[in-house]
Every structure is written in structure tokens, then in C-alpha cells.
Structure 1
């Protein structure tokens, strides 16, 4: 099969995406596929026929401790173009049997890339444009999920400027969780426990667009559940060695203990699986995803968010969950592709 792995792009999760894409490309090549790896934003000027066996830079699998400087990325693009698709990207995608979306963040998980590929008749992996767009918006997702009987922390969407911050600091309760409404990888997420920390969190949120979800803080165990082909995978518990499961703790090897399957009672596991599947179907997702929960000491799963293109990096969680049920990394990639092709044919 001829496959294009689309990675990189122009979001703060760019480096995570490059890592996922590089690993996916390597695994699919090892299974005999012709695979081209391309950075969606920077593009390529090489002849299409040379890209399906072009060597990879293995350094791309390593994710730095901080998010990339996107202004530097923009400046490095040779054609100076403003399109999210760099030179040659769509032409390359049109030559493939399927595009494996290894994108993360607002330029890959929000439905715009999916819609563009739909218009061109190019099949791709994961959920369609509508499900992707809904799941990327944390406020909208919770509005859909809450009536389904899935417990989720109370929340408020705040759309603010600098002059609003003093009033918000006075009104909002701490501790709470402040997170940008449409970012992933815990970028911009803070857990302020004092009013001073809340002010700092809102100021940071302003730099990321000034549109945040302020969420009730729920104390408990952080447990995540992957879904593959409509079935829940074994849960995985995350125990950061310092702080919470932020960007650095997610992608630096050894920064967190990841226990799969989570050491929890079977009834807790069942509740998590049921909640994850309710969210998956309620939002209208397809093929695969990963849902994030806090589980309180009474075993109640509190839904936080769902990811439509879970990470596929060397430290990512979905491949670990799949491995527990005997699905190795390469097989996981192929199953994602096969299920996605079926979903596209069915119009999902």
C-alpha cells in the first residue's frame, strides 16, 4: 500500500506530531508498505517518486522539553507561503492510497485537514471533520457529554482580555484547572491553588488566545482509556513523578510512571470503558481515540477530554494499551488504516 504520513504542521504540538509520524512511518515500512513522511507545513520540493523510500531523521522521534517556537518554524519555510499545506503536500497526498494523520493540535485535530482531504477525495485515518472539530473544543465536548450521563467536572468557558483578569480572579474559585479551549498535550494547562496562581494562569492563557475552560478541580487518580474499532482498550494510570501530567511529563522518558492495565477493581474498569464509549459515540468519532479521566476514591470516572488522534510517540499511551491485548505497534498502525478506510467508504 502507498501511504503518506502527514506530520508536523503549525501547532504547539508540532514536535510531538513529528515524533509520532516518524515512528509510524518506520513501523509501516517495516511491514512492507511504501511510505512517504512529510511535514504538512514545511512541505517538500523533492520529486514525489523519491519520497516513498526517502531516509528518515531518527532525531525527530525525540520530543524536547518545551513546545517549539512557531515563528521560527514559519520563518524556515522556503516559499514564504501562509497556507497550512506546504509546497507539494497535497500533490503527494493525492498519490497515496491513504494518508495517515500523525498530526496533533489545532492544525490537525480540529477537522480542517480532514475536510480538505474529503473535498479532494483522499482517504485518511481517524475521525471525520465534524467529530474532530467537536472533540477539539473542550467546552462543546462537555456540553454534549454531560447530558449522556457521563460525570464531568463543572466548568465555565471564559473569553477574556487583559482588563477582565482582575474580575475573573476575584470571582473564580481555587483550586481549579485552567486550560485553553482547543489545545492538547496539556499545553497551557495550569492548576492554580491560590488567587496569585490563578492570575498567572489567566495571563498565560491570554498568550494562547484568551479563550479558556476553567474547570472544577477533582482530586483523584489520572486514568486514560483508549478506544480501537469501537472497543475500549485496557485503562492506563498516569503517576507523574513531579507535579501533574503536563507537556514535559508526557514526553520525557521516565518522567511519569505509566501502569497498564491500571491497578483498579474490575467494576471501575467497566465504568471507565462505558464512559469512554459513551463519549466516543456521543461526539461522533470513528476508528480510534483516547479519553482522559480522573477517578475519585469511590471509583467514579470524571471525564476530562477526548483525543481524536492520540499520540504515537515512543512514550505514548495508546500503543501501550494495545500492547497489553497483544497488538504490537505495527499491527496497531495497520488496523487504524484498515478501519479508517472502512469508515471513509461508509461515509463516516
Structure 2
């Protein structure tokens, strides 16, 4: 197949996205697909005659993307639109676009909307479910309505909320996070009023809406759901603190165990809730749902990631490996289940 791997973009997760795209592109080429990288934000200065060459240096293309990152801030000051030159024209030539984007303008349904309007096939969920899953406040409301256990919490709007935590009838500690952020950027734990006010300032520096929810002390897990079916549970145990940006992307900062050391009953229960959350948000193709479990065995679904990290050592590839599927096979599988949307 001729495949465009969209990676980079202009979100706070640009560098992670490039790493995902680099891994996916290499893996698909190992499976004899003609996959090429494309940055949707910076685009291509010209549309090559041979868009899908047999010989292609993935690492060189990824490094060129990383070099453009230094121009991102300046470009965003002057650019009005998202898509760079020739992006959509190139995507139209592909059999499918593999979305290796993360965060805003990629995982939130906006790119998906444009691709739908252009009749371009792509991996993952559609615009509406992507947008709902990206918004942690909406996700929480949907989970509560559909019986998916989730921590007690509220959504606050900048300039329209009280800075006094006592006004909301919750107890410390709480976790404060931007509604639509990813990779735990801007996420803080607050143990008292002073920390709460500082956490609000931090979260509101990223977005105008934040979620404040009860902080659950316990073990952290993640479950991939592919084509509606849960994969093995993976446990993430940070050596220090919680699963924040540093622990997600700094090698050696977490111990990841797959399958997780859980009883068969607890494993099945968490997989059931993952599938319920996937269905509640009307997700398609694949997603990853994150969980906490307290000392009493109570489970809480925190959020759904519609375009989760896809480096070879990311969580979903580890779960796939536990059922005998290697990384290139997984990348192919995600394309296969995504194409079902178009049948």
C-alpha cells in the first residue's frame, strides 16, 4: 500500500509525534509498504513526482522534521491555517493516511474532519469521538452516564470559577489538569489550598478549561482496545512520582509490566471497563484507556487516548507483543481495523 504517515504538527507533543511516526513508517516499510513521513504543519515545498519511492530514508526524514521544530513558535505567530503546503494534495494520493499525531490539531478530531471532507482514508476514530475523548470533562460526563467508573471531579472555566477549593465540596488531594491536553502536560497534584491555586494557574496557562478530580492513590494501568476488543492489561509503575510527562518519555523512569500482575478476575474486570469506555465514546479502530486501581481493588477509568504513542516501546506495542504480535504486525493491524470504517 501507498501510505502517508502524518507526524509532527504544532501541538505540545510534536517531538513525541515525530518519534511515533518514525517508528510506524519504518515498521510499515519492513512489511513492504511504501510509507513516507509528512509533517502536516510544515508540509512539503513541492509535490514530488514519485511520492512513494521504493528506497526511502525514514531517519533522515524524521531528523528533517526535528530541525523544523526550532521554527515552530515563530511560524505559529504568523500562520493562520494549520495545513502546510501540498499536504492535502499529497494525502489524496495515498491508499490511507496513518495518523501518528498526538495532542491538539491531530488527536482532537480537527484533522479527521478535513480528511473526511476530502474523502481521504485515515487510521483511528472519526471527528466526533476524537473530540469527545480529547476533552477530559466531556469524557468524564460520558463515563458517568454509561456506568464506567471514573474519579469524582468537576470542570472549571477560566475567569468563571472560584479559587477557593472548599467551594466545590471535595477533599484534598486532587489532581488538576487541562481539559484537552495530552502527555500529562500541565498536570499537577494539589494537597492544600496553596498548591491548588498554583495548580490552577499552571493548568489555565495551557487552556481555558480544566478538570479537577479526586486524586486516587494506587496502581496505574493501561488497556488497549483494538476493534472493540481489549488487549492484555499493562501496569505502569513510576520509580518516582506519578505517570507525568517526564516519566512517560524518559527511559528507565518506569517499570512497565505486561501482562500486569493481576488476578484473572481483576484483569477481566478492567478489560470489561476498557471496552465499555471505548463503546461509550463511540471510538473506532483502536484506542488506549488509562486506569487507576486503589488498595481495595476499586478501578477508575481516567481517560481514553485515541491516537496513543506508537514508538516501538510504547504501551500498545508492549500489549500486542504479549499476544504474539510484533510491532510491524501491529502497525499493519491498526490499518486493517481502520479500513473497516470505509467498508
TM-score scaled by structure 1?
Answer: 0.91
1:34-61 Cα shifts (integer Å, max 9, x gaps): 1120111111114333443442336959
The answer to whether the 8 Å contact 2:312/2:327 transfers is: no
Cα distance in 1 for residues equivalent to 2:299 and 2:102: 25
Q: 1:311 aligns with which of 309, 312, 323?
A: 309
CA spacing shift, 1:255–1:59, aligned 2, 3 Å: farther
Partner of 2:202: 204
Matched length: 338
Q: 1:116 aligns with which of 105, 114, 117?
A: 114
The answer to whether the 8 Å contact 1:45/1:88 transfers is: yes
Alignment of 1:210-289 (within 5 A): 210-289=208-287
1:309-341 Cα shifts (integer Å, max 9, x gaps): 111024310000001001111111111111111
Partner of 1:28: 28
Partner of 2:57: 55
Which segment drifts farther, 167-176 or 234-243? 167-176
Cα distance in 2 for residues equivalent to 1:283 and 1:81: 33
Partner of 2:2: 2
1:194-218 Cα shifts (integer Å, max 9, x gaps): 2222121111112112310000111
Tell me the SS of whatever aligns to 2:175: strand
Cα distance in 1 for residues equivalent to 2:268 and 2:73: 46
Cα distance in 1 for residues equivalent to 2:61 and 2:221: 30
Report deviation, 1:69: 12
Cα distance in 2 for residues equivalent to 1:124 and 1:333: 13
Cα distance in 2 for residues equivalent to 1:250 and 1:58: 25
Cα distance in 2 for residues equivalent to 1:248 and 1:52: 36
The answer to whether the 8 Å contact 1:233/1:322 transfers is: yes
What is the root-mean-square deviation of aligned Cα atoms in Å?
2.3
The answer to whether the 8 Å contact 1:5/1:35 transfers is: yes
The answer to whether the 8 Å contact 2:47/2:90 transfers is: no
Cα distance in 1 for residues equivalent to 2:166 and 2:299: 29
Cα distance in 1 for residues equivalent to 2:86 and 2:73: 17
Q: 2:164 aligns with which of 135, 158, 167?
A: 167
Report deviation, 1:108: 0.8
Tell me the SS of whatever aligns to 2:303: strand
Partner of 1:325: 323
Structure 2: runs of 5+ lacking an equivalent = none
Partner of 1:125: 123
1:76-129 Cα shifts (integer Å, max 9, x gaps): 58x953211111110110010000000111111111111110111110000111
The answer to whether the 8 Å contact 2:3/2:95 transfers is: yes
Partner of 1:104: 102
